[in-house]
Structure 1
Amino acid sequence: MLKCAAGVSKQPEHTRIRDTMTPTALLEPPPAEVVEGPSGVPTVLTVDDEPSVLNALRRVFRSQGIATLQATSAAEGLSLLKTHRVDLVISDMRMPEMDGARFLERVKIHDESIVRVLLTGYADMSSTIAAINRGAIHRYIAKPWDDQDLVLVVREALSRRDLEKKNAELTELTKRQNEQLRDINQTLETRVAARTAELEQINGMLDAAYADLDNTFVLAVNVFSSLMEMRGGHPGHSRRVAELARETAKRLGLPDRDVRDVHLAALVHDVGTIGFPDTMLGKPVSTYTAEEHQRYRRHTIDGETALMALSQLQGVARIVRQHHERVDGKGFPDGLAGAEIVLGARIVAAASDLDELAHGHMGEINHSAERAHSMLRGGMDTRYDPAVVETLLQVVVDMAAAAKDDVQIDVRDLRPGMVLARAVLSAKGAILLAAGYVFDERVVRQVTNFSTKEGVHLTLWVQRDSIPGGTPLMAPPKVHA
């Protein structure tokens, strides 16, 4: 086994090397660009001012498949570092101009990832320890060295460097991937936010379209109700019942869908009478003949049949069929009692009878409001649901009080967003626009054009809180008891 001490020139082999080779002959001219070593082969730079030591190190590493570069001075070594890719540097401690410790410090500054190993004798131990403390070297090898130990040290150092390099690459890759992931997440969040906003906008548009469609449907039912009343001889009855029934249903806590069904059912609750002969229309029920009574008792079934074809009106059809049932079970057509009768039908029954009592449709005379209220209370627990009656009568009182806040305006002062407080009726009492209607630009334009073209001066009752500031107001309404 070869043992070598750097700087010991008396050994024959070293002498022969010194005699046949010069420093320049051992070094190839540096290329203009950084030269990569053979693929997958580590490169070790050995620096010593004695070429014999350099050759000895080269032989050791060549047998291990490790490429080597040699330099006879620190300056030459630094020059090679600028033009070659180096994995590990072995430097002798004692060199002229710049010692090994200082040289390895310069290597660290050049590239901290290069493994730095110092060849040192026992006499240089204090300098070696100082270099270690400064972080300039990773390992030191004492002279004379053992080839196997030297190879083991170099292999371990290169393995550690390779591991550190791969770790650094993985860390960098992870960093890049995290940045990409963050960018992707941010982009995804932006896309999701944009898509969510788009869907919310679409949903809003669909809701608005559905609301417009529903409003149009309700308006169509109002028109149909008005047409029925034009023939039936009881103008305004269905409208008034619908307003009372809707508010009563709200106060009794019915869901919005059920409130809507109650309102629509009240508008068309007498649709089954549309086929009555003229002799039956317009006269009180109390004056009907036996045959007329028999036909009258079928109008709820006929009304249900007329509405069943419309899927949107299934709940409405049920209310229409049951609105002449009584809580004591003596009503028609099915003799239902109490809770067997849907709440919507109990509400429409009470509201319809109250309006008919007040307007002479049930008997041959018009009853005062007080008398009509008293008669309705008298029918509690027999004809009517007591809770419905009490709520309905309170609605009547509250509506009368609220009417004091209704404001009359000229049609020329009508603006979009105003809410109609009282229904607009035709000359024959048919509903043209129902109370609660919210005016939009199209309807405002149509009403204004109608007034202008027909030469008709129109005034409308609107809710005070829907009027924009600065709108001219007419004289306050007279309130009738």
Structure 2
Amino acid sequence: MSQTTPSSVPSPAAVAAPQPAATLLLVDDEANILSSLRRLFRPEGYRVLTAESGDEALELIAAEPVDMVVSDMRMPGMNGAQLLARIREAYPDTVRILLTGYADIGSTIDAINKGEIYRYVAKPWDDNDLRLLVREALEGRRLRHENQRLSDMLAAQNEQLRQFNTELEAKVKARTLALSEALANTDKANKELKQAYTTTVRVFCELVESRGGLMTGHGRRVADLARSLGRLLGVGDADQQTLVLAGLLHDLGKIGLPDELLDKPFTQLRPEERGALMTHPVRAESLLMGVRPLAEAAKIIRSHHEHYDGTGYPDGLAGLAIPRLARILAVANAFDSLQLGTMVGRTLSPRDALAYIESNRGKRYDPEVVDAMIAIGAHDSAEVPSPDQRLRVGQLTVGMTLARDLVHAEGYLLLSRGFVVDQQIIEQLARLERNEGRPLHVYVLKNGGAA
């Protein structure tokens, strides 16, 4: 038995994101094979343990945690299939890879069935392929652990919300006893209870958007637009509050999904990626249903990807069978997502996004809600002075004058109306756009005159 450790000089990746080195256990009765594998994996920064038999491997893994076992098939005494089967029973979280010759196909099938191995590799192996296989397997294991950690954290916060709910209910009950039993006062107390939850919900929204990228500010914009649409459509105050909560939390089910999956346009996803992404409305509903004041918002979130013609998901609802608030949220979400470029593979201007929604009137979207969206869009357009033009950062030139305040998605002022753009400002805005991963639009005067 021998043990090697990585060089004492950390790699740049380790400096950027310090993590414990993954531990590999290599098992083979041939010393030269173990030496070759050790040389192959030492530069990767792994902590490498070696064993020359199945019994020796079981003693090692019992003494200290091991992330992955790479075992040869043919060994005296306990073969690789038997070893990996025993490791699966005792240490199911350990990744298992089998090295096998072409003559061992029957034993390999036995290892797959009993040991539930991650992959088998034919000998002689290709060094680059084996390195990549081990790296991908360990990364998959890390992602599973991270997803579990996020789920546990979310469950703990749900429990905090439940406790908060219990405390608020006690306060509301005490206050209601002191008030008139009139129905109007009861409704008022319920409304105050929902408003008290808004702050907590915003914490959840920050959790969703804390990963940065295209999701930053998306929930708040969708919530604001959904409330405006609801108000225009005559939705009551209580339902407007539900729309706000649903808008803030509609992407909660995306927690745990890979960043590259969230930033890729839906039309460019592979079938398996679409399948993973399409689970997020149901997952968000399941996370929120246990919190009584958010139960209605959870139902709306479940249905906000249903299409008016029945082609949406997750339930294939159509027309008036889709909850009305979900039909409103769907349009608000689409309008912002189209401008982010997460729906059709390119970023659209507000005008083009509105045209896309109008073209899907009665197909994807409720005609009544689309008409309200058009009314809001026409109103916004009427408020924009005709000499203004909306540009991307890459279209700015030195000397242009801002026609409107440039406000960050999080609400703070970047540049004020009337500011004259210079080269340094253009470079700073371009850097901000790259860092945040979403387009930045600037309104300037067409004639270049004073604002």
The answer to whether the superposition gives a TM-score over 0.5 is: no
TM-score for the superposition, normalised by structure 2: 0.43
In our comparison, the structure showing a higher alpha carbon Rg is: 1
